[in-house]
Structure 1
Amino acid sequence: MRVLFCGTPVVAVPTLRALLDSDHDVVGVLTRPPAPVGRRRRLTPSPVHQAASEHGLPVVTTDRPHGEDELAQITALEPQVSAVVAYGALLREPALSALPHGWVNLHFSLLPAWRGAAPVQHAIRAGDTRTGVSTFRIEAGLDTGPVYLTQDHPIRPWDTAGDLLTELADVGAPVLVRTLDEIEAGTISPVPQAETGVSHAPRLSAADGHVNWRAPAQVVDRQIRAATPAPGAWTTYDGRRMKIGPVRPDAEAAALAPGVLEAGAQAVLVGTGSTPVRLTDLAPAGKGWMDATDWARPRSQVAQRRPVRGDR
């Protein structure tokens, strides 16, 4: 089929590459406009835009594909279907009805669980042990369309959102290709989503990364892993924000009050609502990431039993 690929971030690139290696004809790419990146806020094309340019594909950059001019650019490519992965903007009429086989989305959850922009982050935060990918036909509702295929995938106790998204991007690419294969062959029909088991996954904000040290250690662990790498987990130390990497609950460590930091030569511990957790990596305000024990070594005396703030 003639396929319009629609996506923006790096997790969408494996599917674009899988489609380029398939029997389908990728006629163009729809992605969001260049965005400011880095400290200098330099406008930079999206990862999908860059990958498309490497392959000489026509690129339409917009966050309004339903606009008259934008839709004219899309339909001029004569796509039969659009394969969508993490585009990052709403798709609505008249765009949804403009392609013969519609817009087929690869979503990083087992629908109807975790509809929304951050399914992986919310699955980790909730303590789910399994997730997966779903392909579905996009309709007006948010991730409510009928499902073509699913494939499940484990969530391991140490997975961050970044780790898991990378894995699901690779798992999902062949699932979306297979979905398009079967649509072209006429051997698949989407099935309406169940009305039970619905959960929602709105985009995480910086506030969602503010560590709640009063929560039990396992909840703190999940909160931090869900916010890694974005929006990032953080607390405050000496009144300044400090980024926090994944932690390890330590049931054998001596009890500490929630939010109290104990710096030693072998470990940096912070108290929670249950057992302490060991810090692994951190980034003080204005500095890069470093090993927590390296950060603590020159300040081990003053840091002993000092509070960090994140308990809200």
Structure 2
Amino acid sequence: MIEVKQVSKRYGEKTVVDQLTFTAQPGQVTGFLGPNGAGKSTTMRMIVGLDTPTSGEVLVNGRRYAEHAAPLQEIGVLLDAKAVHPGRTAGNHLLALARTHGIPRRRVDEVIELAGLTKVAGKRVGNFSLGMGQRLGIAAALLGDPGVVMLDEPVNGLDPEGVLWVRHLLARLAAEGRTVVLSSHLMSETSLIADHLVVIGRGKLLADTSVESLVAQAAGGGVTVGTTATTLLGGLLAGPGVTITRVAEEELLVAGLEPRQIGVVAAEHGIPLFELTPRTVSLEEAFMDLTRESVEYVSHLELAR
């Protein structure tokens, strides 16, 4: 478990993280999202002791990272896949990490195989592609068989097979009861992987909720109904707690009723329907709507909209 408790981080007069509180629970993948400059990287660095909070507290499995005798066996982290000496081979890099914690050589071989690096284990990391470097970083994160795994942009540079591998890997780790934190700018991929979301903007918590709840809130609810009898159907559906909006000549937006209820009423009165769709938005649209006021870097095209 990762517990971030009222954490703030200031550099001089600039507040990068502002009274941030959230918990990443075991048994689920927590998506950690935010626009560039939101404070995600700083928060992750504070979790593993690379930065010190100005105030507040960060705990990994009930302790500060520095208090763990064998931190690699508590939390595995991928923050920068390029943070490897380019002259080392993949195997030697992992072996050096393993020896700091008394991890046996067989575990090095296991994570190399798990990450699909067996054929290149003897090659120098400086010659690795971006995708191969990502796989090595994930292998390093899993080396200590930790109960907590935190990965920053793990699918960056991976081909479709690699993206699918990461997706299944994280789902499996969560199913095993581990705490998994995924930071990514790829909303479509996050929506397929994450069970829970923590969204921050300008260092502050914007949302701590499920993917489904965030998307539903952004969509605003309602059912799009397509029919040639909008007036008749609207009158039949009207009632307490029901809001009906005529969107177009042959389209209604009905809030307060489920699609099944609308369909039954239409069928009972012989009213043809050519659309009956719950109103939805993508995670990307929900994220953009939520973080609209927290974006630090806006292009001229976006300003012109």
| Alignment TM class, shorter chain as reference | under 0.3
Give the TM-score taking structure 1 as reference length: 0.26
Larger Cα Rg: Structure 1 or Structure 2?
Answer: 2
User: Which structure carries more helix by proportion?
Assistant: 2
Report which structure shows greater RCO (CA 8 Å, sep ≥6): 2
Give the TM-score taking structure 2 as reference length: 0.27
